[in-house]
């Protein structure tokens, strides 16, 4: 009996053994079923990925369960893959939790595999976003209007300790909603409350512990484990987008688009039944991706920036001095002044650099990046205004898959942070203890919840 049990175990191990193909880069030896999962902290694997890069080099193989994954680390290797060999590295993996949650009826764009349909959808997306103000003054006015609402709410909290996490998610969501639906929502609106919760929960889950378990151990996918919550949230999100789409179809005037939805519906009318990649299901998937990407990353970057500026008050003060000098006498900041604010640009750039580019590229800081970043592992937001490191700065990824909304995100971050620093000083509360800079890992790295004390600047 014991011999039979041993034979059974050996057979199972043999069947589930992970094999590295001959042309794969080196990496740690995987074990059956689990692969290399035991080498990683699944709550936040970034430090483990950096440790493995030191041992195996900037390109190595890691098995997530039975599935091999090639990890690319370091500026030169990432540029070589995503730019010089873009056609080979612009695909997207299939069969993961993100695919099953997002691509229920249509492939969308972010997770769609590289090909003619993806190119067609991306080309249309760029055109439509530009038509509705991306990178233009009209978008600047929309952003400043939302910032005015933020400052009014912050004025009510002057002298108090407050949590700003939901505020910035709702503000960023409202900005992209103006492009997608031509609508602004009250911050206590049910639509806004739901999507704030939805973005926060799904971002953490999709690439957190339970997302990794789902992707790595397929036999567990049908069990009632916590990752099932993600599918419920995505279903509820799609239902809300379907309502917005139905309302837009009733009120639209063909040929006179008011927003992204109308523009897409006009394109559908133009193409008819030509067998193209344009469908209403694809529109809903596209809306979801733009809304998600336009909210979560921007809000988390602002929150990360404030966290560091509070804990390095001398940097915050230098930024404020620069803002006062450049905007002297001007009622509102404008984007064209960005080049005259090198201190602010570098500080904000540092904040974005601490976030992980979403979906496909792990942002790590191997030793050779010290030639690009003065202090890659330290918390100091900057050590000088010398900035040769733009080449190494890729928070929006790079190559053909570079973020669709990069110009919108850059515009939002500059205008929000400059406006807030001009009017307020942000202070780490005395009773808050030591700050914890360790982020919560997810599609983007989210700063852990913290409170901030807001002071009105005397010169503002």
Determine the Cα–Cα distance for residues 311 and 55; give it in Å rounded to an integer.
34
Q: What is the mean pLDDT of residues 320-349?
A: 80
3-state helix, strand, coil in the chain (%, to 5): 55, 5, 35
- Residues paired with residue 64 on neighbouring β-strands, in sequence order: 35, 67
Q: Which domain holds residue 62?
A: 1-73
- Residues 67 and 122 grouped into a single domain: no
**Residue 42 predicted with pLDDT over 60:** yes
pLDDT for position 363: 36
Q: Is the pLDDT of residue 233 over 50?
A: yes
**Residues 161-201: pLDDT tens digits?**
999 999 999 999 999 999 999 999 999 999 999 999 999 99
**The pLDDT value given to residue 41:** 92
User: What are φ and ψ of residue 181, in 5° steps?
Assistant: -125, -5
Picking from 29, 46, 73, the residue at the C-terminal end of a domain is: 73
- Tell me what the mean pLDDT of segment 423-450 comes to: 90
Identify the burial level of 15 via C-beta atoms within 10 angstroms of its C-beta, where 0-12 means exposed, 13-18 middle and 19 or more buried. exposed
User: Within this chain, do residues 51 and 79 fall inside the same structural domain, yes or no?
Assistant: no
Instruction: Answer left, alpha or beta for residue 159, where phi above 0 means left and psi between -120 and 50 means alpha.
Output: left
Are 387 and 407 members of one domain?
A: yes
pLDDT of 235 above 80: yes
Band of residue 437 on the pLDDT scale cut at 50, 70, 90: confident
Confidence label for 34 from pLDDT (cuts 50, 70 and 90): confident
Q: What is the pLDDT of residues 253-282, one digit of tens each?
A: 999 999 999 999 999 999 877 778 999 999
- Summarised one tens digit per residue, pLDDT across range 293-331 is 999 989 998 999 999 999 999 999 999 999 999 888 777
Residue 250 has pLDDT above 90, yes or no: yes
Which of these three, 73, 100, 129, is where a domain ends? Answer: 73
Both 194 and 217 in one domain: the answer is yes
Mean pLDDT of 200-226: 91
Whether the pLDDT of residue 365 is over 70: the answer is no
Same domain for 361 and 223, yes or no, is yes
Residues 68 and 102 in one domain: no
What DSSP line would sit under 169-216, residue for residue? Answer: HHHHHHHHHHHHTS----TTSHHHHHHHHHHHHHHHHHTSHHHHHHHH
Which whole number is the average pLDDT over 80-107? 91
Alpha helices by DSSP H, listed for 252-355, are 260-271, 280-311, 313-326, 342-353
- Domain final residue pick, 38, 58, 73: 73
State how far the alpha carbon of 327 is from the alpha carbons of 79, 137, 306, in Å.
37, 18, 21
Answer yes or no: are the C-beta atoms of 106 and 281 closer than 8 Å.
yes
The percentage of residues in the chain with a pLDDT greater than 70, rounded to a whole number, is: 85
Q: Is the pLDDT of residue 44 over 90?
A: no
pLDDT mean over 285-297: 93
pLDDT at 61: 93
The verdict on 270 and 136 lying in the same domain is: yes
Q: What is the pLDDT of residues 9-26, one digit of tens each?
A: 444 444 455 566 678 899
Confidence of residue 351 (pLDDT cuts 50, 70, 90): low
Q: For residues 148 and 169, what is the distance between their CA atoms, to the nearest angstrom? A: 15
The binding site for heme consists of 403
**What is the CATH classification number for the domain harbouring 184?**
1.10.630.10
Q: What is the spatial distance between Cα 304 and Cα 302, in angstroms, rounded to a whole number?
A: 5
> Within this chain, do residues 47 and 149 fall inside the same structural domain, yes or no?
no
Using N-to-C axis directions, what is the helix angle for 406-423 and 342-353, rounded to 10°? 120
**pLDDT score of 358:** 34
Indicate the pLDDT class of residue 443, thresholds 50, 70 and 90: confident
| Statement to judge: residues 186 and 50 lie in one domain | no
**Per-chain mean pLDDT for the chain:** 84
Q: What's the total number of domains in the chain? A: 2
Q: Which element (helix H / strand E) includes 364?
A: none
Q: Note the pLDDT of residue 33.
A: 83
pLDDT at 362 over 70: no
Lowest mean pLDDT, pick from 86-90, 241-245, 251-255, 424-428: 86-90
SS3 of 38, please? Answer: helix
User: What single string gives the DSSP state of each residue in 418-429?
Assistant: HHHHHHEEEE--
State residue 376's pLDDT score: 42
pLDDT tens digits, one per residue of 382-404: 544 444 455 566 778 888 998 88
d(CA 447, CA 449): 6
State how far the Cα of 81 lies from the Cα of 52, in Å rounded to an integer.
19
3-state secondary structure of 453: strand
Question: Do 59 and 188 fall into the same domain?
Answer: no
Binding site residues, as ranges?
Answer: 403
Which residues, listed in sequence order, are joined to residue 63 by a DSSP beta bridge?
A: 68
* 119/178 same-domain check: yes
The answer on pLDDT for 459 being more than 60 is: no
d(CA 49, CA 366): 10
Do residues 42 and 184 share a domain?
no
């Amino acid at each position: 009996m014991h011999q039979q049990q041993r034979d059974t175990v050996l057979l199972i191990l043999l069947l589930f053994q992970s094999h590295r193909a001959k042309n794969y880069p080196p990496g740690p030896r995987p074990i059956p079923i689990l692969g290399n999962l035991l080498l990683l902290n699944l709550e936040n694997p970034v430090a483990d990925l950096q440790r493995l890069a030191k041992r195996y080099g900037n390109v190595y193989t890691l098995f997530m369960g039975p599935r091999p994954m090639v990890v690319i680390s370091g500026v030169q290797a990432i540029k070589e893959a995503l730019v010089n060999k873009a056609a080979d590295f612009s695909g997207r993996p299939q069969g993961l939790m993100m695919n099953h949650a997002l691509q229920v009826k249509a492939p969308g764009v972010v997770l769609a595999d590289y090909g003619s349909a993806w190119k067609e959808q991306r080309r249309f997306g760029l055109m439509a976003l530009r038509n509705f103000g991306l990178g233009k003054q009209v978008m600047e006015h929309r952003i400043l209007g939302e910032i005015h609402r933020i400052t009014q709410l912050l004025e009510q909290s002057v002298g108090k300790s407050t949590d700003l996490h939901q505020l910035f998610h709702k503000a960023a969501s409202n900005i992209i909603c103006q492009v997608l639906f031509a609508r602004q929502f009250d911050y206590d609106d049910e639509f806004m409350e739901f999507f704030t919760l939805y973005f926060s929960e799904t971002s953490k889950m999709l690439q957190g512990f339970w997302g990794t378990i789902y992707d790595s151990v397929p036999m567990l996918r049908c069990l009632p484990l916590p990752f099932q919550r993600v599918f419920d949230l995505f279903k509820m999100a799609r239902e809300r987008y379907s309502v917005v789409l139905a309302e837009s179809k009733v009120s639209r005037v063909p040929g006179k688009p008011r927003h992204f939805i109308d523009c897409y519906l006009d394109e559908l009318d133009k193409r008819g039944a030509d067998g193209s990649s344009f469908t209403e299901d694809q529109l809903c998937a596209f809306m979801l991706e733009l809304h998600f990407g336009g909210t979560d990353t921007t809000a988390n970057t602002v929150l990360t920036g404030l966290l560091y500026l509070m804990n390095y008050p001398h940097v915050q003060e230098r930024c404020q001095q620069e803002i006062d000098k450049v905007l002297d006498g001007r009622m509102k900041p404008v984007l064209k002044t960005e080049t005259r604010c090198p201190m602010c640009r570098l500080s904000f750039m540092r904040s974005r650099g601490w976030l992980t580019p979403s979906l496909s590229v792990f942002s790590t800081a191997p030793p050779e990046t010290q030639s690009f970043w003065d202090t890659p592992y330290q918390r100091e937001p900057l050590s000088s205004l010398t900035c040769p490191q733009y080449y190494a700065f890729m928070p929006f990824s790079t190559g053909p898959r570079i973020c669709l909304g990069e110009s919108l995100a850059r515009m939002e971050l500059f205008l929000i942070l400059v406006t807030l620093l001009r009017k307020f000083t942000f202070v780490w509360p005395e009773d808050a203890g030591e700050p914890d800079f360790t982020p919560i890992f997810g599609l983007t790295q989210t700063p852990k919840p913290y409170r901030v004390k807001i002071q009105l600047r005397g010169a503002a």
